[in-house]
Structure 1
Amino acid sequence: MSLPAAHLVGLQLSLSCCWALSCHSTETSADFSLPGDYLLAGLFPLHSDCPGVRHRPTVTLCDRPDSFNGHGYHLFQAMRFGIEEINNSTALLPNVTLGYQLYDVCSESANVYATLNVLSLLGTHHIEIRADPSHYSPAALAVIGPDTTNHAATTAALLSPFLVPLLLEQIRKVNFLLHKDTVRFNDNGDALSGYDIIAWDWSGPKWNFRVIGSSMWPPVQLDINKTKIRWHGKDNQVPKSVCSSDCLEGHQRVISGFYHCCFECVPCEAGSFLNKSDLHSCQPCGKEEWAPAGSETCFPRTVVFLTWHETISWVLLAANTLLLLLVTGTAGLFAWHLDTPVVKSAGGRLCFFMLGSLAGGSCGLYGFFGEPTLPTCLLRQSLLALGFAIFLSCLTIRSFQLVFIFKFSAKVPTFYRAWVQNHGPGLFVVISSMAQLLICLTWLAVWTPLPTRDYQRFPQLVVLDCTEANSPGFMLAFAYNGLLSVSAFACSYLGKDLPENYNEAKCVTFSLLLNFVSWIAFFTTASVYQGKYLPAVNVLAALSSLSGGFGGYFLPKCYVILCRPDLNSTEHFQASIQEYTRRCGST
């Protein structure tokens, strides 16, 4: 069904329903109608509305006591008088008699009924459906009124498909004299002659009007004398012809109701702005821009990352460089005293592997500073995870080997000989380190850490970072290091009663406890803070873990070598072992 046909069906159903529900019970006086060649309909509120609850869609009874509307009555009589004057004139519309059908539109229901009745065929109460509305002939040729905006909007919506083409067709044929001036209309229905612009004056007991301007054609010329206009406001102040006041800056106009001048002011949301060329919709800012709520423009986002020249960066870089220097110095010290009992009890040449792993993890921390790039994103976390895993593997096997030698070698000599002959400690370190290496390679291949520009953390910032933090590979590598930390702690705890020179339980426990606390603090901070200093928190946690491992295991041995050379002797170590043997024998 076409749109005009659907419109007609709706009108016919409306009229049929209205008629079936006793709308026709509304009676009209003989003064409300006049027969003629052409009928004009007038919709005027002769009575005021009576609001109330209705249980069925009936038309309001307009003729009620104490509801007379003087303004509507004047309009009613003005139309009657105007049509009678035209009919009585020999110069205006000769040989044509105008008629009228007037309706009391005291309410919306009465207005709808009157409009539908105007559209019905003369003498009937239905509307014919035709493909072309311009060939439809309703009872009335034109409609004057209603005088209120709400009623006029309803009437215009119902009449527009029918009366506009009919009216234009008739207007084109009109040609008459009015006060010695010829009145003609063009094909668009526009008057080809001039006219005066008048303003009604209702201030006195009698109504009158004054000429305040004129319009001439051709050429088009409009003259208005503003000094002759009398406004009803205080001091003749011009009223604002708007339903709503102008909105504040950054507030869009959301139309409420039928009219564009009636709107609500709604502030633009953050990330959008109001372009002055379109006051009814907020426009989103670009990806690299931001705007606060209620803004008329967008601003460039600030790109942030942990730069090299910030104070916190200098502090962390200095601490990390100092750790590297201490690791390097310890490696040189151990190489110089490689054959001493302290270095041998610490693991001998295995110590260099442990120091190298700590140095590798420490070098990875430099990748957290400056603008993230692909190489730094690939290496910074993976170097740290792999280096610390190697250190923990060495620490675990070293503690296990001391416990096994002092407590279980005599009980299971066969297993001990096989362990030594097959290089058990070195094999464990290689296998454990290769496992972490495999995890890191899988992490880099499957969940490749890449430089990213994060737009979600802060509306006004673009945070440059790497994508490794939430990847399964990162969590798996971290969990593996956690497992090695627990293993190292368990083996160290089992050796808490070993000879004093071999008892590392306290120092190892301290370093592992610092490791746990550091990473718990980091993940807690990362859950509530996602700013540009989060990499600094990551560096601080990693630096604490590396420094704790180095300090807990190597610094006591460096102290003995440098400050207590009397304890770094074979005699002292043998005495310590004999004391342990006597203590075990007595128990």
Structure 2
Amino acid sequence: MEPLLVALWPLVFFMSALPECTCTASEFRLPGDYLLGGLFNIHHTSGPIVHDKPVAIDCSSQIIEPGLYRMFQVMRFAVEQINNSSALLPGVSLGYDIYDHCSQVQNYPAILNLISSGGSVRPHWEADNYTSKVIGVIGPFQSADVLATAPLFTMNLIPVVSYGAASSVFSVKEKFPSFLRTVLSNKEIIHVVLRIIQLFNWQWVVFLSSDDPYGKDGLELFQRNIMNSDICLAYTAQLRHNTDYLKMFKEIESHGASVIVVFAVKMRALDVVHSAIKFNFSRKVWIAVDTWALDKHLPKEKGVENIGTVLGISEMMVPIPGFEEFIKSKGQNSGASDRENGFCNQECKCPSVLAELKKSNFMLLNESIEFDQNGDTKYASLSIVFWNKESVYDCISCKETEWSTDGSTSCSPRSVEFVPLTDPVSVLILMATFFLVGLALAIAALLAVNYDSPVVKSAGGPMCFLILGCLSLCSVSIFFYFDIPTTAHCVLRLLPFILFFTVCLACFVVRSFQIICIFKMTTKFPKFHSWWMKYNGQWLVITVALATQVFLFIIGYATRLPKPYNETSWYPDKIILGCDLGNFRVFSISVLLLGSLGFFCFTFSYMGKDLPKNYNEAKAITFCLLLLILTWIIFSTEYAVYKGKYIQTLNAMAVLSSLYCILLWYFLPKCYIIIFQPQKNTPQYFQGLIQSYTKNISK
């Protein structure tokens, strides 16, 4: 519909005020100081109509064309917009006289009425004061109609501005001096068709054209343009109302061609596709031109998906603000019978109108409107559309924050999901975290009170407080797995846990190693044991592990900080808020360091599986590590299977579970001995265990 609006608009830029007169208006007629003619194929004939005597056709008895009826309404809408504007034609009214042009050869009374003046038609060179009834004509739509009617207007240089006639012959100004159009000519359309064919390297092509000036012009242009190319015309046929499509399809199959260009008026193109569905003419590539590429009903026909792939060429469709409201307010009733009133007369020389039209240069609906020396539009946007089973699309990509269902014509916002702090699961995890910190403080207090006891010393002495402190600091990470993530959230999810858990695991590596030293290496490797004790080897290992992890974090965060991340691949209609890992390589090395510490810890503690039966340090560490491994295996499995906002909650639970593994299974047994079995918390008891074990291994 935009080409029609463009066709009408230039006519308002040259007009000046003249004396007013009043006339009666109807849907097809509107009085005004200046009159425009309109020719619209509101109805169309499905085939030749034979009469026994020359009569004008009754268009209302023919098949209505909804699309062209809307174009007719666009002209009425545009005139109303112009008349209501205080900027375009102040003090001047624009009127129209519109006719239903349903036949190329049986609508001449309407044409003669438009070009008449005072009941007569005279060429402009015979009467200097001759003025036509209208200052210009909008339409007709089809090339065949323009060929039949335009010569009658152009002999008096009455501007004819077509919104659909694309035949290249109209660019010849010697024949059509007052013709202009707001659509691309066939020359441009054929150029795009060839570009598509060459892009896919198709060389064996069928060309079907309608048996009318439009189709013949397209075929001639196509044949002319492929003469010096690798494209060969396998088969061509002209489409008529009585075409034998079954025979035509068999001939195409016999030529082995799979690419078919249908360059035809809409009625003939629809016949081709319907016949292809009917006769199961399938698995072809169809190139549709703009006459039928955007047909709304054809792509929904049952079985249309079987005919193959349809690539359409069409001018960009631009919505006209206010038009739908205009249609609803005016109703759908035609006033074609109300033709008894006359129109105002105006003194307007059509050659001057034509000269001003050719100078048109303005913006309309964000499109530049300008004609070249041949009366063709200078600027027009084409799009390539693709049909599927349901409908035809000019596809665009939705933004990352939007989504659309299959076949949708618009994008909708995605729902954003995250786990807030007020979520019941979040509240439970946070309460468990506070309890862990409180329990760690209570255990630290108990161990401090009994600091000189054998149980505390065997558990690591001062190292116990370092482990408990690091467990409490690790728990800080849990608080940042909830609510909308920020850069600070993303950093603090990883930093406290990885950094201080590294210290915890390093302490266990040292404890496991020292247990082996006490019971096995003291007698076998006394010098190494002496060196270890002299240079505080345990603190050296812990310091190196911590320093390495700090160094990795500095490198990682200096190159790329962890940042909030929108997970859009899991669900089409949702965005799951999360965090990326920052520098993934550095993060991987940090995790590898944790894994290495765990491996050494497990190795050393497993070596102590044959230690005294009642001495359970190594066994406690081994059990803690097994639970840690199991925890992260479960989380990894959940992460691979589950996709949703609660993945962050599961991560927080894995961290919390890791902390409880150490707190409960390493420290609680020692607290139990201190409180409930004080007889085992004596130097004599521990010395007896060591002496007994030493005697056994010395044998």
Q: TM class, shorter-chain normalised?
A: 0.5 to 0.7
CA distance in 1, matches of 2:444, 2:418: 35
CA distance in 2, matches of 1:280, 1:419: 76
Equivalent residues of 1:526, 1:534 under 8 A apart: yes
Distance change (3 Å), C-alpha of 1:551 and 1:255: same
- Over 3 Å counting, the alpha-carbon distance change for 1:257 and 1:418 in structure 2 is same
Quick one: distance in 2 between partners of 1:502 and 1:284?
67
Match of 2:419, SS state, is coil
Q: Which of 684, 690, 696 is residue 571 of structure 1 equivalent to?
A: 684
Amino acid of the structure 1 residue aligned with 2:405: P
Query: Alpha carbons of 1:468 and 1:403: their partners in 2 closer, same or farther (altered >3 Å)?
Result: same
Equivalence for 1:121: none
Equivalent in 610, 616, 623 of residue 503 of structure 1? 616
> In the alignment, residue 640 of structure 2 is paired with which amino acid?
S
Alignment match, 1:342: 455
SS in 2 for 1:531: coil
1:306, 1:536 within 8 Å by CA — same for their partners in 2?
A: yes
State the Cα distance separating 1:283 from its structure 2 match: 4.7
- Contact 1:255–1:262 at 8 Å: present in 2 too? no
Shift of 1:341: 0.7
Post-superposition offset of 1:488: 0.4
SS at match of 1:546: helix
Residue 406 of structure 1: aligned partner: 519
Paired residues of 1:499 and 1:580 also in contact (CA < 8 A): yes
* 2:503 is the counterpart of 1:390: yes
CA separation of 1:457 and 1:419: change in aligned 2, threshold 3 A: same
SS state of the match for residue 452, structure 1? Answer: strand
Alignment counterpart, residue 423 of structure 2, candidates 300, 310, 316: 310
**Alpha-carbon offset, residue 581 of structure 1:** 2.6
**Does the 8 Å CA contact 1:522/1:537 hold for their aligned counterparts?**
yes
Question: For the residues of structure 1 that align with 2:447 and 2:173, how far apart are their CA atoms?
Answer: 108
**1:438 is matched with which residue?**
551
Structure 2 stretches of 5 or more lacking a match?
1-46, 55-104, 106-168, 176-207, 223-266, 274-285, 302-315, 321-391
**How big is the shift at 1:158?**
6.2
> Alpha carbons of 1:363 and 1:276: their partners in 2 closer, same or farther (altered >3 Å)?
same
Is structure 2 residue 215 aligned with structure 1 residue 154? yes
The reply on whether 1:477 has 2:590 as its aligned counterpart is yes
Distance 1:73 1:135 in 2: 33
Contact 1:275 1:297 in 2 (8 A): no
Distance 1:149 1:405, change over 3 A: closer
- Contact preservation (8 Å) 2:562, 2:583: no
Matches within 5 A, 1:30-179: 150-152=210-212, 153-157=214-218
**For residue 408 of structure 1, what is the amino acid of its counterpart?**
M
**Aligned match of 1:466:** 579
Corresponding residue number in structure 2 for 1:351: 464
1:265 aligned to 2:299?
A: yes
Identify the residue that residue 553 of structure 1 maps to in structure 2. 666
CA distance in 1, matches of 2:692, 2:483: 55
Task: Output aligned runs, 1:23-34, within 5 Å.
Answer: none
Q: Which amino acid aligns with 2:464?
A: C
Give the 3 Å change call, closer, same or farther, for CA 73–488 of structure 1 in structure 2.
closer
Q: What SS does structure 2 have at the residue aligned with 1:372?
A: coil
Q: State the alpha-carbon separation in 1 of the partners of residues 408 and 422 from structure 2.
A: 34
2:695 maps to what in 1? Answer: 582
Matched letter for residue 548 of structure 2? A
Which SS does the other structure have where 1:418 is aligned? helix
Deviations 1:262-287 (A, max 9, x none): 564379xxxxxx99939863454444
Task: After TM superposition, give the deviation of residue 288 of structure 1 in Å.
Answer: 2.9
How far apart in 1 are the matches of 2:545 and 2:555?
Answer: 16
Gaps of 5+ in 1: 1-70, 83-129, 137-147, 162-239, 246-253, 268-273
> What SS class does the counterpart of residue 409 from structure 1 fall into?
helix
Structure 2: how far apart are the matches of 1:73 and 1:259?
A: 24
Aligned partner letter, 2:211? H
One-letter code aligned to 1:265 = P
Contact 1:275 1:283 in 2 (8 A): no
Cα distance in 1 between the residues matched to 2:172 and 2:268? 35
Indicate the residue corresponding to 2:238 in structure 1. Answer: none
Judge which range, 407-416 or 417-426, deviates more: 407-416
Moved over 6 A (4+): 71-75, 158-161
- Equivalent residue number for residue 570 of structure 2: 457
1:303 is paired with a residue of what secondary structure? Answer: strand
Q: Secondary structure at the match of 2:420?
A: coil
**Paired residues of 1:495 and 1:503 also in contact (CA < 8 A):** no
C-alpha displacement of 1:435: 1.3
Judged with a 3 Å threshold, the aligned counterparts in structure 2 of structure 1 residues 399 and 502 are, in CA distance, closer, same or farther, namely farther
1:372 maps to 2:406? no
Quick check: 1:493–1:505 contact (8 Å CA) kept in 2? yes
Closer/same/farther in 2, CA of residues 363 and 73 from structure 1, 3 Å limit: closer
Q: CA RMSD in A?
A: 4.0
* Structure-2 residue corresponding to 1:170: none
Displacement, 1:465? 1.4
The answer on whether the counterparts of 2:470 and 2:500 sit within 8 Å (CA) in structure 1 is yes
- C-alpha displacement of 1:524: 2.7
SS of the equivalent of 1:307 reads coil
CA radius of gyration, larger in: 1
CA contact (8 A) 2:417 2:645 kept: yes
The DSSP-based 3-state class of the residue aligned with 2:524 is coil
Q: Are 1:289 and 2:386 counterparts?
A: no
Contact 2:560–2:582 (Cα < 8 Å) also in 1: no
Counterparts of 1:482 and 1:465, CA distance in 2: 24
Aligned pair in 2 of structure 1 residues 341, 298: CA closer, same or farther (>3 Å)?
A: same
Question: For residues 266 and 350 of structure 1, do their structure 2 counterparts lie closer, same or farther at Cα, with a shift above 3 Å needed?
Answer: farther
- Contact 2:459/2:617 (<8 A) preserved: no
1:277 matched to 2:319: yes
SS at match of 1:265: helix
Residues 411 and 487 (structure 1), Cα distance of their counterparts in 2 relative to 1, 3 Å cut? same
**What is the Cα deviation at residue 345 of structure 1?**
0.6
2:652 is the alignment partner of 1:531 = no
Measured after TM superposition, the shift of residue 561 of structure 1 is 1.0
2:601 aligned residue: 488
3-state SS in 2 of match to 1:554: helix
Give the superposition deviation at 1:160.
9.9
**Paired amino acid for 1:434:** A
Change (3 A) 1:563 1:160: closer
1:454 Cα shift? 3.2
Answer with 457-466 or 359-368: which moved more. 457-466
1:412 CA drift (Å): 2.5
CA distance 1:338–1:159, change in 2 (3 Å): closer
1:401 counterpart letter in structure 2: Q
CA distance in 2, matches of 1:490, 1:303: 46
Q: Residues of 1 paired with 2:476 and 2:290: CA distance? A: 69
TM-superposed CA distance for 1:296, in Å, is 4.5
- The number of residues matched between the two structures is 365
Distance 1:426 1:555 in 2: 24
What secondary structure, in the 3-state scheme, does the structure 2 residue paired with 1:306 have? Answer: coil
The normalised TM-score by structure 2 is 0.47
How far off its partner does 1:241 sit? 11
For the residue of structure 1 that corresponds to 2:630, the secondary structure is helix
SS in 2 for 1:485: helix
- Correspondence list, 1:405-424, <5 A: 405-424=518-537
Per-residue CA distance 1:124-152 (angstroms, 9 max, x = gap) = xxxxxx9x95669xxxxxxxxxxx98211
Tell me by how many angstroms 1:469 deviates: 7.5
